[in-house]
Amino acid sequence: MTGATRAGDLPGRVVVRAPGKVNLALQVSPVGDDGYHRVVSVFQAVSLYEDVTAQRSNGLSMTASGPQSELVPLDASNIAWRAAELLAAEVGIEPDVHLHLAKGVPVAGGMAGGSADGAAALLACDALWGTGVPRARLLELAGELGADVAFPLVGHTAVGTGRGELLTPALVRGELHWAFGLRHAGISTAASYGRFDERLAAAAERGGDVPTAERWDDEPGVELMAALRAGDAEGVGAHLRNDLEAASCELEPALLEVLDVARAAGALGVVVSGSGPTVAALGRSPRHALALAAAMTAAGVVDDVVTATGNVPGARILTLPV
Protein backbone atom coordinates (compact mmCIF):
# COMPACT_ATOMS: atom_id res chain seq x y z
CA MET A 1 0.00 0.00 0.00
CA THR A 2 1.50 3.30 -1.09
CA GLY A 3 -1.00 5.71 0.49
CA ALA A 4 -2.25 6.08 4.05
CA THR A 5 -1.53 3.02 6.18
CA ARG A 6 -3.66 3.49 9.30
CA ALA A 7 -7.27 2.35 9.03
CA GLY A 8 -8.38 5.31 11.11
CA ASP A 9 -6.95 7.69 8.51
CA LEU A 10 -9.03 6.18 5.69
CA PRO A 11 -12.57 7.19 4.71
CA GLY A 12 -15.45 4.82 5.32
CA ARG A 13 -17.25 5.81 2.13
CA VAL A 14 -16.24 7.45 -1.14
CA VAL A 15 -18.53 8.66 -3.94
CA VAL A 16 -17.12 9.17 -7.43
CA ARG A 17 -18.99 10.61 -10.41
CA ALA A 18 -17.94 9.66 -13.96
CA PRO A 19 -19.47 10.84 -17.25
CA GLY A 20 -20.93 8.94 -20.15
CA LYS A 21 -19.76 9.73 -23.66
CA VAL A 22 -20.81 10.25 -27.23
CA ASN A 23 -18.63 9.24 -30.17
CA LEU A 24 -18.21 12.22 -32.46
CA ALA A 25 -16.35 9.86 -34.76
CA LEU A 26 -15.80 6.11 -34.67
CA GLN A 27 -13.50 4.82 -37.40
CA VAL A 28 -13.06 1.05 -37.41
CA SER A 29 -10.51 -1.16 -39.17
CA PRO A 30 -11.30 -4.62 -40.45
CA VAL A 31 -10.46 -7.31 -37.92
CA GLY A 32 -6.73 -8.00 -37.74
CA ASP A 33 -4.79 -11.24 -37.39
CA ASP A 34 -4.91 -10.78 -33.62
CA GLY A 35 -8.71 -10.93 -33.68
CA TYR A 36 -9.15 -7.24 -32.78
CA HIS A 37 -10.37 -4.19 -34.63
CA ARG A 38 -8.27 -1.06 -34.35
CA VAL A 39 -10.25 2.13 -33.92
CA VAL A 40 -9.88 5.86 -34.04
CA SER A 41 -12.55 7.35 -31.84
CA VAL A 42 -13.22 10.97 -31.02
CA PHE A 43 -14.87 10.75 -27.59
CA GLN A 44 -16.75 13.57 -25.92
CA ALA A 45 -17.81 13.36 -22.28
CA VAL A 46 -21.40 14.49 -21.70
CA SER A 47 -23.39 15.56 -18.65
CA LEU A 48 -24.99 12.18 -18.00
CA TYR A 49 -23.32 10.53 -15.04
CA GLU A 50 -22.72 7.33 -13.15
CA ASP A 51 -22.25 7.79 -9.39
CA VAL A 52 -20.33 4.94 -7.76
CA THR A 53 -20.21 4.68 -3.98
CA ALA A 54 -17.45 2.55 -2.47
CA GLN A 55 -17.97 1.60 1.17
CA ARG A 56 -15.88 -0.45 3.55
CA SER A 57 -17.07 -4.05 3.70
CA ASN A 58 -15.98 -7.61 4.39
CA GLY A 59 -15.67 -9.08 0.93
CA LEU A 60 -16.87 -7.69 -2.39
CA SER A 61 -20.55 -6.97 -3.08
CA MET A 62 -22.58 -4.71 -5.35
CA THR A 63 -25.99 -3.06 -5.70
CA ALA A 64 -27.46 -0.73 -8.31
CA SER A 65 -30.27 1.81 -8.64
CA GLY A 66 -31.65 4.12 -11.29
CA PRO A 67 -33.20 3.66 -14.75
CA GLN A 68 -32.87 0.09 -16.07
CA SER A 69 -30.75 -0.89 -13.07
CA GLU A 70 -32.51 -4.25 -13.09
CA LEU A 71 -30.52 -5.03 -16.25
CA VAL A 72 -27.17 -4.46 -14.55
CA PRO A 73 -25.27 -7.62 -13.48
CA LEU A 74 -24.19 -7.51 -9.85
CA ASP A 75 -21.38 -10.03 -9.99
CA ALA A 76 -17.94 -10.58 -11.50
CA SER A 77 -19.31 -9.95 -14.99
CA ASN A 78 -19.75 -6.27 -14.06
CA ILE A 79 -16.82 -4.08 -15.04
CA ALA A 80 -16.93 -2.16 -11.74
CA TRP A 81 -16.61 -5.43 -9.82
CA ARG A 82 -13.63 -6.38 -11.97
CA ALA A 83 -12.13 -2.91 -11.43
CA ALA A 84 -12.17 -3.45 -7.66
CA GLU A 85 -10.57 -6.87 -8.03
CA LEU A 86 -7.93 -5.55 -10.43
CA LEU A 87 -6.92 -2.66 -8.19
CA ALA A 88 -6.78 -4.93 -5.12
CA ALA A 89 -4.56 -7.39 -6.99
CA GLU A 90 -2.36 -4.51 -8.15
CA VAL A 91 -1.56 -3.47 -4.56
CA GLY A 92 -1.76 -6.89 -2.91
CA ILE A 93 -4.85 -6.50 -0.71
CA GLU A 94 -8.25 -8.15 -0.49
CA PRO A 95 -11.06 -6.44 -2.45
CA ASP A 96 -13.09 -5.61 0.64
CA VAL A 97 -15.66 -3.13 -0.65
CA HIS A 98 -19.36 -2.70 -1.27
CA LEU A 99 -20.04 -0.85 -4.53
CA HIS A 100 -23.32 0.89 -5.25
CA LEU A 101 -23.94 2.06 -8.82
CA ALA A 102 -26.41 4.93 -9.26
CA LYS A 103 -27.18 4.75 -12.98
CA GLY A 104 -27.57 7.91 -15.01
CA VAL A 105 -26.20 6.78 -18.38
CA PRO A 106 -28.42 4.58 -20.57
CA VAL A 107 -27.76 0.86 -20.06
CA ALA A 108 -26.40 -0.90 -23.18
CA GLY A 109 -26.88 2.36 -25.07
CA GLY A 110 -23.47 2.84 -26.66
CA MET A 111 -22.68 5.68 -24.23
CA ALA A 112 -20.14 3.86 -22.03
CA GLY A 113 -22.20 3.71 -18.85
CA GLY A 114 -20.51 0.47 -17.87
CA SER A 115 -17.10 1.90 -18.68
CA ALA A 116 -17.89 4.94 -16.52
CA ASP A 117 -18.73 2.54 -13.68
CA GLY A 118 -15.37 0.83 -14.11
CA ALA A 119 -13.47 4.11 -14.13
CA ALA A 120 -15.36 5.42 -11.12
CA ALA A 121 -14.81 2.18 -9.20
CA LEU A 122 -11.05 2.38 -9.78
CA LEU A 123 -10.88 5.94 -8.47
CA ALA A 124 -13.28 5.29 -5.56
CA CYS A 125 -11.49 2.14 -4.37
CA ASP A 126 -8.11 3.83 -4.63
CA ALA A 127 -9.36 6.60 -2.33
CA LEU A 128 -11.23 4.23 0.01
CA TRP A 129 -8.27 1.91 0.49
CA GLY A 130 -5.65 4.68 0.50
CA THR A 131 -3.63 2.81 -2.11
CA GLY A 132 -2.27 5.96 -3.79
CA VAL A 133 -1.89 4.40 -7.23
CA PRO A 134 -0.47 7.02 -9.63
CA ARG A 135 -2.91 8.45 -12.13
CA ALA A 136 -0.90 7.11 -15.07
CA ARG A 137 -1.13 3.59 -13.66
CA LEU A 138 -4.88 3.95 -13.05
CA LEU A 139 -5.23 4.78 -16.74
CA GLU A 140 -3.26 1.64 -17.63
CA LEU A 141 -5.46 -0.47 -15.38
CA ALA A 142 -8.53 1.08 -16.98
CA GLY A 143 -7.19 0.06 -20.38
CA GLU A 144 -6.86 -3.53 -19.15
CA LEU A 145 -10.53 -3.52 -18.15
CA GLY A 146 -11.78 -2.42 -21.57
CA ALA A 147 -11.16 -0.17 -24.53
CA ASP A 148 -13.49 2.63 -23.36
CA VAL A 149 -12.72 2.58 -19.62
CA ALA A 150 -9.79 5.01 -19.61
CA PHE A 151 -11.76 7.81 -21.24
CA PRO A 152 -14.22 8.49 -18.36
CA LEU A 153 -11.19 9.07 -16.13
CA VAL A 154 -9.94 11.77 -18.52
CA GLY A 155 -13.23 13.24 -19.76
CA HIS A 156 -13.60 16.37 -21.90
CA THR A 157 -12.87 15.45 -25.55
CA ALA A 158 -10.11 13.09 -26.64
CA VAL A 159 -8.95 10.97 -29.55
CA GLY A 160 -8.70 7.28 -28.71
CA THR A 161 -6.49 4.98 -30.77
CA GLY A 162 -5.38 1.35 -30.60
CA ARG A 163 -8.59 -0.31 -29.40
CA GLY A 164 -9.67 3.08 -28.05
CA GLU A 165 -7.63 3.00 -24.85
CA LEU A 166 -4.72 5.26 -25.96
CA LEU A 167 -5.96 8.81 -25.42
CA THR A 168 -4.83 12.18 -26.74
CA PRO A 169 -6.73 15.24 -25.46
CA ALA A 170 -8.40 17.31 -28.18
CA LEU A 171 -8.58 21.11 -28.24
CA VAL A 172 -12.24 22.17 -28.10
CA ARG A 173 -13.85 25.59 -27.89
CA GLY A 174 -17.34 26.09 -26.46
CA GLU A 175 -20.05 23.58 -25.63
CA LEU A 176 -22.10 21.17 -27.70
CA HIS A 177 -25.77 20.57 -26.94
CA TRP A 178 -27.13 17.07 -27.44
CA ALA A 179 -30.48 15.32 -27.54
CA PHE A 180 -30.28 11.57 -27.12
CA GLY A 181 -33.01 9.27 -28.34
CA LEU A 182 -33.01 6.14 -26.20
CA ARG A 183 -34.33 2.69 -26.99
CA HIS A 184 -34.62 0.02 -24.33
CA ALA A 185 -33.68 -2.82 -26.67
CA GLY A 186 -29.89 -2.75 -26.49
CA ILE A 187 -27.45 -3.76 -29.20
CA SER A 188 -24.41 -5.69 -28.04
CA THR A 189 -21.07 -4.29 -29.12
CA ALA A 190 -19.96 -7.76 -30.21
CA ALA A 191 -23.01 -8.14 -32.43
CA SER A 192 -22.44 -4.76 -34.07
CA TYR A 193 -18.79 -5.53 -34.80
CA GLY A 194 -19.78 -8.95 -36.11
CA ARG A 195 -22.25 -7.45 -38.56
CA PHE A 196 -19.64 -4.84 -39.55
CA ASP A 197 -17.28 -7.70 -40.47
CA GLU A 198 -20.03 -9.46 -42.43
CA ARG A 199 -20.75 -6.29 -44.41
CA LEU A 200 -17.07 -5.87 -45.30
CA ALA A 201 -16.80 -9.51 -46.37
CA ALA A 202 -19.89 -9.20 -48.55
CA ALA A 203 -18.55 -6.02 -50.17
CA ALA A 204 -15.22 -7.73 -50.90
CA GLU A 205 -17.03 -10.66 -52.54
CA ARG A 206 -18.82 -8.20 -54.82
CA GLY A 207 -15.44 -6.79 -55.85
CA GLY A 208 -15.76 -3.56 -53.93
CA ASP A 209 -12.78 -1.47 -52.85
CA VAL A 210 -12.88 -2.21 -49.14
CA PRO A 211 -10.35 -1.24 -46.45
CA THR A 212 -7.96 -3.79 -45.02
CA ALA A 213 -6.46 -4.14 -41.54
CA GLU A 214 -3.36 -2.39 -42.89
CA ARG A 215 -5.11 0.25 -45.04
CA TRP A 216 -7.94 2.23 -43.45
CA ASP A 217 -8.68 5.74 -42.13
CA ASP A 218 -6.37 5.69 -39.13
CA GLU A 219 -6.40 9.45 -38.40
CA PRO A 220 -9.34 11.51 -37.14
CA GLY A 221 -11.01 13.62 -39.80
CA VAL A 222 -9.28 16.97 -40.31
CA GLU A 223 -12.61 18.77 -40.81
CA LEU A 224 -14.07 17.48 -37.55
CA MET A 225 -11.02 18.39 -35.49
CA ALA A 226 -10.85 21.85 -37.06
CA ALA A 227 -14.54 22.45 -36.28
CA LEU A 228 -13.99 21.43 -32.64
CA ARG A 229 -11.04 23.84 -32.32
CA ALA A 230 -13.08 26.65 -33.85
CA GLY A 231 -16.17 26.04 -31.72
CA ASP A 232 -18.12 25.49 -34.96
CA ALA A 233 -21.11 23.33 -33.98
CA GLU A 234 -22.41 23.23 -37.55
CA GLY A 235 -19.05 21.94 -38.75
CA VAL A 236 -19.01 19.30 -36.02
CA GLY A 237 -22.50 18.20 -36.97
CA ALA A 238 -21.58 17.94 -40.64
CA HIS A 239 -18.66 15.62 -39.90
CA LEU A 240 -20.05 13.21 -37.30
CA ARG A 241 -19.08 9.67 -38.27
CA ASN A 242 -19.70 6.13 -37.09
CA ASP A 243 -18.43 3.19 -39.14
CA LEU A 244 -20.64 0.84 -37.08
CA GLU A 245 -23.82 2.78 -37.78
CA ALA A 246 -24.93 0.82 -40.85
CA ALA A 247 -24.28 -2.48 -39.06
CA SER A 248 -26.24 -1.38 -36.00
CA CYS A 249 -29.12 -0.18 -38.18
CA GLU A 250 -29.27 -3.59 -39.85
CA LEU A 251 -29.49 -5.21 -36.42
CA GLU A 252 -32.12 -2.68 -35.28
CA PRO A 253 -33.84 -1.17 -38.37
CA ALA A 254 -36.00 1.09 -36.20
CA LEU A 255 -32.89 3.24 -35.69
CA LEU A 256 -33.28 4.52 -39.26
CA GLU A 257 -36.58 6.12 -38.27
CA VAL A 258 -34.99 7.84 -35.29
CA LEU A 259 -32.19 9.23 -37.46
CA ASP A 260 -34.72 10.51 -40.03
CA VAL A 261 -36.91 12.20 -37.40
CA ALA A 262 -33.93 14.00 -35.83
CA ARG A 263 -32.70 15.20 -39.23
CA ALA A 264 -36.18 16.43 -40.18
CA ALA A 265 -36.31 18.36 -36.89
CA GLY A 266 -33.26 20.37 -37.96
CA ALA A 267 -30.41 18.66 -36.08
CA LEU A 268 -26.98 19.97 -37.05
CA GLY A 269 -25.89 16.35 -37.25
CA VAL A 270 -27.18 12.94 -36.20
CA VAL A 271 -25.26 9.77 -35.42
CA VAL A 272 -25.70 6.45 -33.66
CA SER A 273 -23.54 6.58 -30.53
CA GLY A 274 -21.04 3.73 -30.46
CA SER A 275 -22.75 0.45 -31.25
CA GLY A 276 -26.11 1.97 -30.36
CA PRO A 277 -29.01 1.92 -29.94
CA THR A 278 -28.81 5.51 -28.67
CA VAL A 279 -29.13 8.16 -31.37
CA ALA A 280 -27.29 11.43 -30.73
CA ALA A 281 -28.70 14.58 -32.32
CA LEU A 282 -26.68 17.80 -32.15
CA GLY A 283 -28.60 21.02 -31.48
CA ARG A 284 -27.73 24.67 -31.98
CA SER A 285 -28.49 25.54 -28.35
CA PRO A 286 -29.95 24.01 -25.19
CA ARG A 287 -33.43 25.05 -26.36
CA HIS A 288 -32.92 23.47 -29.77
CA ALA A 289 -31.70 20.25 -28.11
CA LEU A 290 -34.96 20.19 -26.13
CA ALA A 291 -36.89 20.67 -29.37
CA LEU A 292 -35.06 17.76 -30.98
CA ALA A 293 -35.88 15.59 -27.98
CA ALA A 294 -39.54 16.63 -28.20
CA ALA A 295 -39.64 15.77 -31.90
CA MET A 296 -38.32 12.26 -31.29
CA THR A 297 -40.82 11.77 -28.47
CA ALA A 298 -43.76 13.07 -30.51
CA ALA A 299 -42.90 10.76 -33.40
CA GLY A 300 -43.03 7.76 -31.08
CA VAL A 301 -39.72 6.41 -32.37
CA VAL A 302 -37.89 6.25 -29.03
CA ASP A 303 -38.60 4.90 -25.57
CA ASP A 304 -37.14 7.92 -23.79
CA VAL A 305 -35.09 11.05 -24.42
CA VAL A 306 -32.49 13.01 -22.48
CA THR A 307 -30.53 16.16 -23.23
CA ALA A 308 -26.97 16.87 -22.17
CA THR A 309 -24.06 19.22 -22.67
CA GLY A 310 -20.77 18.09 -24.17
CA ASN A 311 -17.19 18.47 -23.07
CA VAL A 312 -17.52 17.89 -19.31
CA PRO A 313 -14.69 16.80 -16.96
CA GLY A 314 -13.75 13.21 -16.23
CA ALA A 315 -14.25 11.15 -13.07
CA ARG A 316 -14.01 13.05 -9.80
CA ILE A 317 -14.52 12.41 -6.12
CA LEU A 318 -17.73 13.97 -4.81
CA THR A 319 -17.48 13.09 -1.14
CA LEU A 320 -14.70 11.78 1.03
CA PRO A 321 -16.11 11.60 4.58
CA VAL A 322 -13.98 10.10 7.34
Whether 149 and 40 share a structural domain? yes
Active-site residue, selected from the candidate residues 9, 21, 33, 304: 21
User: What pLDDT is recorded for position 4?
Assistant: 43
Q: Domain containing 143: what range? A: 7-171
Query: Do the beta carbons of residue 262 and residue 292 sit within 8 Å?
Result: yes
Indicate if 21 belongs to the active site.
yes
State residue 3's pLDDT score. 44
Can you give the pLDDT at residue 210? 80
Residue 7 has pLDDT above 70, yes or no: no
pLDDT band at residue 2 under the 50/70/90 scheme? very low
C-alpha–C-alpha distance, residues 8 and 72, integer Å: 33
The domain total for the chain is 2
Are 162 and 230 members of one domain? no
My answer on whether 271 and 191 are in the same domain is: yes
pLDDT for position 9:
65
Same domain, 54 and 190: no
Q: Name the average pLDDT for the chain.
A: 91
Specify whether 128 is located in the same domain as 190.
no
With a cut of 50, say whether residue 119 has pLDDT above it. Answer: yes
Could you give the percent of the chain with pLDDT greater than 90? 75
C-beta separation of 160 from 166 below 8 A? yes
Question: Which DSSP symbol is given to 155?
Answer: B
CA 83 to chain centre: 16
Closest CA to 18 of 40, 47, 58: 47
The predicted model scores a pTM of: 0.90
Q: Examine the pLDDT at 1 and tell me if it is beyond 50.
A: no
Q: What is the pLDDT of residue 156?
A: 97
Range 275-283 average pLDDT: 93
The pLDDT of residue 5 is 44
- The CATH number of the domain where 148 resides is what? 3.30.230.10
CATH number of the domain at 235, please.
3.30.70.890
Q: Which residues pair with 22 in a beta bridge?
A: 44
Amino acid identity, position 163: R
Same structural domain, 99 and 57 = yes
The pLDDT assigned to 320 comes to 61
Beta bridge partners of 41: 26, 160
Query: If pLDDT is split at 50, 70 and 90, which confidence band does 153 have?
Result: very high
Q: For the residues 96-118, what does the mean pLDDT come to? A: 92
235-257 pLDDT, tens digit per residue, is 999 999 999 999 999 999 999 99
**Terminal CA-to-CA distance of the chain, rounded, Å?**
19
Determine which one of 51, 126, 148, 243 is catalytic.
148
Lowest mean pLDDT of 55-64, 90-99, 206-215, 294-303, name the range: 206-215
175-217 pLDDT, tens digit each: 999 999 998 877 788 889 999 999 998 988 888 878 877 777 8
Q: Give the mean model confidence (pLDDT) for residues 114-140.
A: 96
Q: Percentage of residues in the chain with pLDDT exceeding 70?
A: 95
Clarify whether residues 163 and 254 are in a common domain: no
Q: What is the pLDDT of residue 169?
A: 94
User: What local confidence, expressed as pLDDT, does residue 164 receive?
Assistant: 63
Cβ count within 10 A of residue 2: 11
Q: Are residues 161 and 61 in the same domain?
A: yes
Predicted pLDDT of residue 8: 54
> What does the pLDDT average to over 23-51?
92
